[in-house]
Amino acid sequence: MNNPMKPAKLALLAAAVLFVASGALADPVSIPIPKEGWAISFDAPPLLKKKDSHRDDGAYAFLANSGRFNVSFYVEPPSGNGRTNREVYDFYWPQASRNPMIAQPTVKVSDTSKYVKVTYDLVTKFQGQTVHQHNANYYFAFHDRWVDVHISVIEPEASDAAIFDTFDRTLDYELTAK
């Protein structure tokens, strides 16, 4: 039996698979921290518009995006004597949490051996429209530095959960050969 709808259905299915797969694409990224002998690595959508800056005291900032996905991180000398991931979180999150755009019911904190993670949504009005942004901050201490890694997606869709899951699984930091 020849069904004229079959090729059309197959074409639609193939297009849908390609669309879903293209949204889930992630590139391995490794960013060396200048003059520190270590790097931060993660998998993310292909990054564009990369910017970074470095100060003599070892502070380093990195920013990049990929469409609606944004990533930034800040590496700084410790503020105080704390050397644990929880102490980094205890220092930075109380400052960040004052943002009035944070939808407080969406805030979730979790601890792993690598970092303390906070996820939350920002909600604001822009030109009469409500704008949503899903965010995650990862706080950790490593190699005598405090680190705040931030990722976000503007106007998140259900498929964007895979970007956050991949980032969570692959975020790492390690010493590199000098």
pLDDT digits (tens, 9 = 90+) for 56-76: 888 999 999 999 999 999 999
Residue 10 in any domain: the answer is no
Residue 13 in any domain: the answer is no
**Looking up tokens 């899903």, which residue turns up?**
134
Residue scoring higher pLDDT (24 or 79): 79
pLDDT of residue 178: 58
List the alpha helices (DSSP H) in the chain: 5-24, 85-96, 161-170
Residue 32 in any domain: the answer is yes
CATH number of the domain enclosing 107: 3.40.1000.10
For 123, 140, 155, the CA distances from 129, given in Å and listed in that order, are 10, 35, 12
Residue 5 in any domain: the answer is no
Q: What is the SS3 assignment for 34?
A: coil
pLDDT of residue 79: 87
pLDDT of residue 81: 80
Written as one string, the DSSP assignment of 54-93 is E-TTS-EEEEEEETTEEEEEEEE--SSS--SHHHHHHHHH
Residue 2 in any domain: the answer is no
pLDDT digits (tens, 9 = 90+) for 103-158: 999 999 999 999 999 999 999 999 999 999 999 999 999 999 999 999 999 999 99
Range of the domain at 164: 28-175
pLDDT at 15 over 70: no
Query: Is 138 in contact with 149 (CB distance < 8 Å)?
Result: yes
Query: Is 59 in contact with 77 (CB distance < 8 Å)?
Result: yes
Query: Is 39 in contact with 178 (CB distance < 8 Å)?
Result: no
Residue 19 in any domain: the answer is no
Stretch (H or E) spanning 31: strand 27-33
Distance between CA 135 and CA 107 in Å, rounded? 10
The pairing of beta strand 38-44 with beta strand 48-54: unpaired
Domain count, the chain: 1
List the alpha helices (DSSP H) in 25-147: 85-96
Residue 9 in any domain: the answer is no
Model confidence band, residue 25 (pLDDT cutoffs 50, 70, 90): confident
Residue 20 in any domain: the answer is no
